[in-house]
Amino acid sequence: MTDLRSQLRGLWLPLITPFRNGELDNTSLRRLVRHYCTLPIDGLILAATTGEGLTLSAEETAQLVAVVRDEATGIREALPICLGLSGSDTRRLTDTLTRTAAWPIDGYLISCPYYSRPTQAGMIRHFGALADEATHPVMIYNIPYRTGVNLGNDAMLQLAEHPNIVGLKDCCAIRAQSVELQRRRPARFAVLTGEDAQTYDALADGADGAILASAHIETGAFASVVRLLAAGDRDAALIHWQTVSHLTKLLFSEPSPAPIKHWLWRIGLIDSPELRLPMTEVSPELAVRLDREIASRANAAATATAGAHFRSR
């Protein structure tokens, strides 16, 4: 386990959950972990939106966490891992926190209650009750276009004073709100953007890092954007950003994580692009676009490698 508060920076990956024939695909899962643990990521989120957490049973979620931690420990023992949770029943989520207290995780990413659309006061009490119960630190996930409710900055800052609430995945999609939060937040409250297409702007505005589904692809380039902006080198960061920015649109042109799973399947990292209903695989039209992009990037990489070999002779 790591001190999560000190680790909430850089590039975090909300790992997809591979399935095959209706079951959790442990072989592909281990292959994914081995692959990404060799790349410059700073943490993993499991069983969240990209990981299709709402479709996982409690037993599958436990298995997912155990396999990822086991595989990661042999490569990057200190890599922090957070478990994604969501729900609109505070009592039920409290029970989940109790059930998972001994799991080999470093924290939780908990989304705002969905569908019920509670008041700001209701969300303050909701997250406060969860943070009181949680054995591990809590990150809040504010994504109003999925949940139907926006956790405003006044409420967020009140929650940021709780000793067990350590950060935010910010998907409010309102830049002015995000900028104001950057200005007003406590020093030890981390903000990581989760808006893939707005990553450069959010980091330039002062976010500590990013949780990006798109970073399953071209992980190193996304990591360079985060690292260079943290160092204040906006020009160099922009060069890297321009190589991947259109991926953030392509990979979300149909509901995520279907396009990401298709890509990972095509390059052999997972054995099937299978998703669980109501999510479905990409359309034939998008599959053609994705395959074309994969081929283009493979050809560009091969050309660059050949050029480097020639120059070294």
Active site residues: 141, 169
Rounded Cα gap, residues 92 and 272, in angstroms:
33
Task: With beta carbons less than 8 A apart as the criterion, state whether 120 and 152 touch.
Answer: yes
**DSSP per residue, 21-89:** TTEE-HHHHHHHHHHHHTSS--EEEESSTTTTGGG--HHHHHHHHHHHHHHHHTT-TT--EEEEE--S-
Tokens describing residue 69: 């931690």
Q: Is 116 exposed, middle or buried (0-12, 13-18, 19+ CB in 10 A)?
A: middle
Task: With beta carbons less than 8 A apart as the criterion, state whether 40 and 56 touch.
Answer: no
Distances, alpha carbon 53 to alpha carbons 24, 37, 116, 119, 291, in Å: 12, 21, 19, 25, 27
Partners of 20 in beta bridges: 23
**DSSP per residue, 172-202:** ---HHHHHHHHHHS-TT-EEEE--GGGHHHH
Task: With beta carbons less than 8 A apart as the criterion, state whether 216 and 264 touch.
Answer: yes
Task: With beta carbons less than 8 A apart as the criterion, state whether 2 and 137 touch.
Answer: no
Q: What 3-state class would DSSP assign to 287?
A: helix
Angle between helices 58-73 and 26-37 (to 10 degrees): 40
Pairing of strands 10-14, 43-46: parallel
